[in-house]
Amino acid sequence: MTTLNSNMQQDTERFDEVTVFNHSRKLRKEKKHDEALETLKNAMRRQWLSAEGIEKAGRQIIKHFKTHETKTMRVLVLGQCTTNWVCNCITASAFAGGMSVIADEGQYDNVMQELMAAASSDVKYDAVVLLPWHTRLLAEGDRDTQQRIEDEISFWQQAWNFVTGQLNTRLIQIGYDYKSPGHQGHHLGGQAGGHINLVRQVNEALRSNLPEMSFFIDLDQVSGMVGRETFYDARRYYWTKQPFSEVGTARLSEHIFAAFRTMVNGPKKVLILDLDNTVWGGVVGETGPLGIGIGDSPAGEAHRALQRYAKSLQSKGILLAVCSKNNDADAKEPFEKNPDMILKLEDFAAFEASWDPKAVAIQRIAQTLRLGLDSFVFIDDNPVEREHVRQMLPMVEVVEISDDASEYVHALERGLWFETMNVTQADAQRVEQYRAEAQRREVQSSFTSMDDYLDSLKMTADARLIDEQDFARVIQLLGKTNQFNLTTRRHTPQVVEKMLADSDNMGITLRVTDRFGDHGLVAVLLAVLTDHPMGKDGKAFEVDTWLMSCRVIGRTVEEFCYNSLLEAAQERNADFVVGKYIPTAKNALVKELYDRLGFEKIHTDDDGTVTYELDVHNAELRKTFLAKVETTA
């Protein structure tokens, strides 16, 4: 029993739930609290726990967080039903997904009062979840359909305004649902005036009126995927006013966490595909490119469905990569020669086919794409390979699948890794941008001088004020950029709008192009004119946000941004440019950026936040290899 975690590392043996909790309890008694939590995380990531076990794990994780004063993110869950079990499961789902989150429950059906209390609380919530229940919507009375919808929208809009205004935080709105068709039955219930029809109409009204950059969870759809008879539990509702079964609670919580993860980090960026018995049936080295299972057989259709799903992800900016134990030439042949293949070589941003351990190959993919390992989802039919990657690269999401290819797409969809709030033009162009990046790397290898290489790119930079056209993209980047992000402030649209309304402040975007193509919008700068934060005489032009795409690091885009800040500060007669580096788990990449650009370190807070200043009167513009198209600041 004491070797449970080590057994997980050595083989693919499945442990039952009782064994998992007994081992976790034993570790806690031995004061090995971190190992106890790791046991629960391992079990959840491998889908060893039941829905009831997930809720139990959540309680233990919350207790640990509070006892050990763990730094966590906080989510407030307010509902027209009881939410305590949902909150426990949110914490469990988040912990399994690599995030430390405590979900606080509000009092039953007391939404506005709880929001007011939160506004006066010392707790800064990272998101608020609003969970309606249909009691008022479907109550008997003479209100017509339109009046019922208007009443609900009016109520929730008050809550939305409070969340995005006074609380200045993210909003996750859950939709309405019906437990059963009621006395009207399925046929009449789905027609005009029926309860089913009413629920769907009010959900559409919620979705269409939701504040910008909020997340909507369609409860009607979620319960339908599980099955309402399984998703709901009438006994629980009558006894506790909590309508969801253990299964329903766990599944709803997974969707809430997926929404929160998307708002904080964005969707996963890359799907890494194994080839043999995953992308196609059989082993290409044995069957040849035309003998693989990809045709009009039942198994072949299942593999084609996976290819079709993977290809469709590209439309919202998800990259595809290959990680296969194969000879490189053998692995590529089906893409070139088999007419039944949906995916082609040009669909992949990275292609790793070798006999190296897959964890090593995935690390090479990360280096090629300049992305963190937590950006990847890996699917492989071989449980040994899955376990190897889990243990060596715990940041990578590994899809747990059976040996039935017909389940592959469902497993990917159920993981909710690619949920996104919206799709911009930049997302749709991402695959092309990575293809162009591959060409740049190939050309770079022919140069011995970095300056000569950068000069050969013929880069141009277009800096412009944030406008209506770019606003949604800016908010999206604020919500998901992690590595090159000096402060990682997740501003709501309302905060950014208020900042930009003052002409003394600056909000610009930067687009970069070169002879290989358009990088798109690669940087956002927000700065405010204010008093010096350390009390010095003179005005400070303080950098609120500086984020940038990792694709353009090292091409003097950083220097161009520096120049833009300096010029804007000079135009505003500021005496200093002030910037902060607020450390997170993901932004160590920019820890020394201000040092490198000549800023002086003037203060370090207890939490590691470092404040820098640049004397505007003695600073000089820096050399870049970007030709300026336009600068508006």
Residue-by-residue DSSP string for 264-305? HH-S--EEEE--BTTTBBS-HHHH-TTTSB-SSSHHHHHHHH
DSSP 134-173: TTTTT-SSS--HHHHHHHHHHHHHHHHHHHHTTS--EEEE
Amino acid at 76: L
The answer to whether the beta carbons of residues 277 and 381 sit under 8 Å apart is: yes
For range 457-484, the mean pLDDT: 90
153 has a pLDDT exceeding 80: yes
| pLDDT score of 338 | 95
Percent of the chain with pLDDT over 90: 77
What are the C-alpha distances in Å from 397 to residues 391, 498, 515, 628?
Answer: 11, 38, 36, 41
Of 414, 376, 350, residue with least CA distance to 269: 376
Strand order in the sheet with 600-604: 600-604, 610-615, 576-581, 539-548, 517-531, 506-514, 459-465, 626-630
User: Which range, 131-145, 436-450, 504-518, is most confident?
Assistant: 504-518
| pLDDT score of 630 | 58
d(CA 298, CA 422): 34
For range 437-451, the mean pLDDT: 86
- By DSSP bridging, strand 517-531 and strand 506-514 are antiparallel
Paired residues of 578 in beta bridges = 542, 613
Backbone angles phi, psi at 616, to 5 degrees: -60, -35
The half-sphere exposure of 567 on its side-chain side, counting CA atoms within 13 A, is: 13
Residue reference for tokens 């010096």 = 532
Question: Hey, how many other C-beta atoms are within 10 angstroms of the C-beta on 351?
Answer: 18
Residue 529 region, left (φ>0) first, then alpha (ψ -120 to 50), else beta?
Answer: beta
Residues with Cβ within 8 Å of residue 472, at least 6 apart in sequence:
212, 213, 422, 424
User: What tens digit of pLDDT does each residue of 556-615 get?
Assistant: 999 999 999 999 999 999 999 999 999 998 899 999 999 999 999 999 999 899 999 999
Q: What are 149-154's contacts with CB under 8 Å, separation 24+?
A: 149/198, 149/201, 149/202, 149/205, 152/176, 152/202, 152/205, 152/206, 153/202, 153/205, 153/206, 153/209
Backbone angles phi, psi at 392, to 5 degrees: -80, -35
Of 591, 593, 594, 595, residue with least CA distance to 582: 591
The answer to whether the beta carbons of residues 138 and 198 sit under 8 Å apart is: yes
255 has a pLDDT exceeding 60: yes
Backbone angles phi, psi at 53, to 5 degrees: -65, -35
Of 193-197, 203-207, 460-464, least confident by mean pLDDT is 193-197
Question: Hey, how many other C-beta atoms are within 10 angstroms of the C-beta on 20?
Answer: 21
Helices 246-265 & 84-96 angle (0-180, nearest 10): 50
| pLDDT score of 633 | 45
| pLDDT score of 182 | 75
| pLDDT score of 429 | 78
pLDDT-derived band at 315 (thresholds 50, 70, 90) equals confident
The H or E element that residue 82 is part of is none
d(CA 471, CA 479): 12
When computed from its CA atoms, the radius of gyration of the chain, rounded to whole angstroms, is 26
What are the E-state strand segments in 303-375?
A: 319-325, 348-354
User: What tens digit of pLDDT does each residue of 480-505 get?
Assistant: 888 899 999 988 888 899 999 999 99
| pLDDT score of 507 | 96
The half-sphere exposure of 468 on its side-chain side, counting CA atoms within 13 A, is: 0
Paired residues of 576 in beta bridges = 540, 615
Amino acid at 139: A
Of 75-79, 217-221, 296-300, 582-586, least confident by mean pLDDT is 296-300
d(CA 550, CA 568): 24
Residue 411 region, left (φ>0) first, then alpha (ψ -120 to 50), else beta?
Answer: alpha
d(CA 320, CA 317): 10
Average pLDDT value over all residues in the chain: 92
Q: Kindly state the tokens that stand for 232.
A: 């709901």
Structural domains for the chain: 1-49 (no CATH), 71-265 (3.40.50.1110), 270-415 (3.40.50.1000), 448-630 (3.40.630.30)
pLDDT-derived band at 219 (thresholds 50, 70, 90) equals very high
User: What tens digit of pLDDT does each residue of 380-419 get?
Assistant: 999 999 999 999 999 999 999 999 999 999 999 999 999 9
| pLDDT score of 12 | 52
d(CA 484, CA 545): 11
d(CA 523, CA 547): 6
User: What tens digit of pLDDT does each residue of 1-31 get?
Assistant: 334 555 554 455 678 899 999 999 999 999 9
The answer to whether the beta carbons of residues 491 and 439 sit under 8 Å apart is: no
53 has a pLDDT exceeding 90: yes
DSSP 461-490: EEEEE--HHHHHHHHHHHHH--SSBSS---
pLDDT-derived band at 360 (thresholds 50, 70, 90) equals very high
Higher pLDDT, 338 or 550: 338
The three-class DSSP label of residue 215 is: strand
Higher pLDDT, 557 or 70: 557
Exposure string for 306-334, b = 16+ CB within 10 A, e = fewer: bbebbeebbebbbbbbbbbbbeeebbbbb
| pLDDT score of 426 | 73
Residues with Cβ within 8 Å of residue 188, at least 6 apart in sequence:
194
Of 507, 576, 509, residue with least CA distance to 537: 576
The three-class DSSP label of residue 194 is: coil
